[in-house]
């Protein structure tokens, strides 16, 4: 019975993820607002990442490069603005937090404890992003943030020489 419930929740979350990700590309990604002094560009997401939250792990739902993965590494491109959405899969309270290399929280969602509840945050990818977790289950629900084109070994980050096919995914 528990396996059937989990399969149903995942299938539902994947359907939600598809509709969320599909909407992300439907509009212009930049909005300009003009004031008397200057023109600014609002931070509209260039890409959407969708995770499912359950006590055991964050479950990758979208894009396809993380789909089906437990605590997936989120590979991001510098300067790209991401909307990170998570869907509650188990009805337990969760809250997504993103940390920089110094362990400081740089972005967080509000918590949610209802099955199907969605929370999101928007952030620009920089070389300071390091990891993410759940405030309430940080030992199980945690993953790395990796900057595309770099390789992290221990505490050293080096530029990837490129070459070879397939890109960062």
Do the domain assignments include residue 168? Answer: no
Residues 6+ apart with CB under 8 A from 163: none
Do the domain assignments include residue 138? Answer: yes
Residues 6+ apart with CB under 8 A from 48: 20, 21, 24, 62, 63, 82, 83, 84, 85
Average pLDDT on 66-72 reads 99
**Whether residue 51 has pLDDT greater than 80:** yes
Do the domain assignments include residue 130? Answer: yes
Whether the full predicted model's pTM is greater than 0.85, yes or no, is no
Do the domain assignments include residue 39? Answer: no
31 forms beta bridges with 42
The b/e string for 6-28 (b: 16+ C-beta within 10 A; e otherwise) is eeebbeebbebbeebbeebeeee
**Whether residue 104 has pLDDT greater than 60:** yes
Do the domain assignments include residue 34? Answer: no
Do the domain assignments include residue 113? Answer: yes
Average pLDDT on 5-34 reads 46
**Whether residue 53 has pLDDT greater than 60:** yes
Do the domain assignments include residue 38? Answer: no
Are 95 and 136 in contact by the 8 Å Cβ rule? The answer is: yes
**Whether residue 45 has pLDDT greater than 60:** yes
Band of residue 39 on the pLDDT scale cut at 50, 70, 90: very low
Average pLDDT on 118-145 reads 98
Average pLDDT on 88-96 reads 99
98 forms beta bridges with 107, 132
| Residue 67 belongs to domain spanning | 2-24+44-159
Do the domain assignments include residue 91? Answer: yes
Given this model, what pLDDT does residue 138 score?
98
What whole-number distance in Å separates Cα of residue 59 and Cα of residue 54? 8
Given this model, what pLDDT does residue 43 score?
75
At 31 the three-state DSSP class reads strand
When divided into structural domains, the chain yields a total of 1
| pLDDT tens profile 141-162 | 999 999 998 655 444 444 444 4
Q: Which CATH number do you get for residue 154?
A: 2.60.40.420
Of all residues in the chain, the percent with pLDDT exceeding 70 is 63
Average pLDDT taken over every residue of the chain: 78
């Amino acid at each position: 019975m528990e396996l059937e419930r989990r399969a149903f929740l995942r299938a539902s979350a994947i359907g939600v993820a598809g509709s969320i990700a599909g909407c992300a590309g439907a509009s212009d990604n930049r909005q300009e607002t003009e004031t008397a002094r200057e023109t600014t560009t609002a931070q509209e997401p260039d890409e959407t990442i969708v995770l499912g939250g359950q006590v055991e792990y964050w479950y990758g739902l979208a894009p396809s490069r993380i789909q089906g993965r437990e605590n997936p590494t989120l590979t991001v491109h510098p300067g790209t603005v991401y909307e990170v959405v998570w869907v509650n899969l188990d009805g337990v309270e969760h809250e997504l937090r993103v940390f920089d290399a110094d362990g400081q929280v740089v972005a967080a969602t509000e918590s949610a404890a209802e099955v199907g509840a969605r929370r999101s945050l928007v952030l620009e990818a920089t070389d300071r992003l390091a990891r993410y977790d759940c405030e309430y289950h940080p030992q199980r629900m945690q993953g790395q943030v990796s900057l595309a084109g770099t390789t992290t070994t221990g505490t050293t980050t080096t530029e990837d020489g490129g070459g070879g096919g397939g890109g960062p995914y």
